[in-house]
Amino acid sequence: MEDQGKQTRTLMDKALSGAYYPFVVKLLTASLMIAVTVWIFTGIIALLVNLSHVFSDGWETVAHHSIMKIITMLALLELLRTLYSYMHLGRVKVTFILDAALVVLIGELIGLWYREYTSMEVVLSLVVITVLVILRIVTSKYSPHVDEDSNTELK
């Protein structure tokens, strides 16, 4: 009886001390990666199925929806790249986050072509995209390079 209490206390000590934290983080990250991958595959299937609507809905309408879906899938690929780097490096690279944000914002800018917009919306979008591009250049130029041997991978 006393041995079981000691074993339970040891498990609690390990859980509270963070011994299981890397495992849980890897499990959650892998689950997110699987979910995003499935989401991308279903998006590709929906994109291919949508091609059959070209003759009934018109080429331009289908092209508009296809472009927006493709940009969304590119943003999801950037998200996958971010999750993958987190799995292997144990940290999130800011450049990957900026890449994902740029893809999404450029997609929104393209989306403005297909709806009514004000010049202020376009200018604001362009300013935000320009700032993100500058940040992307700065972070890639001054980013610390991590050696493969000394990375902070979750173990």
Residue 33: predicted pLDDT: 93
Query: d(Cα 107, Cα 129) in Å, to the nearest integer?
Result: 11
Which of the residues in the chain have pLDDT under 50?
148-155
Residue 155: predicted pLDDT: 38
Residue 12: predicted pLDDT: 63
Residue 150: predicted pLDDT: 44
Residue 17: predicted pLDDT: 64
Residue 89: predicted pLDDT: 82
Report phi then psi at 145, rounded to 5. -90, 130
Residue 43: predicted pLDDT: 92
Report the predicted TM-score, pTM, of the whole model to 2 decimal places.
Answer: 0.69
Query: d(Cα 27, Cα 12) in Å, to the nearest integer?
Result: 20
Residue 109: predicted pLDDT: 84
CA distances from 113 to 57, 64, 67, 133 (A): 19, 9, 11, 21
119-142 helix and 94-112 helix, angle to the nearest 10 degrees: 160
Nearest by Cα to 33 from 94, 89, 76? 76
Other beta carbons within 10 angstroms of residue 98's beta carbon come to 20
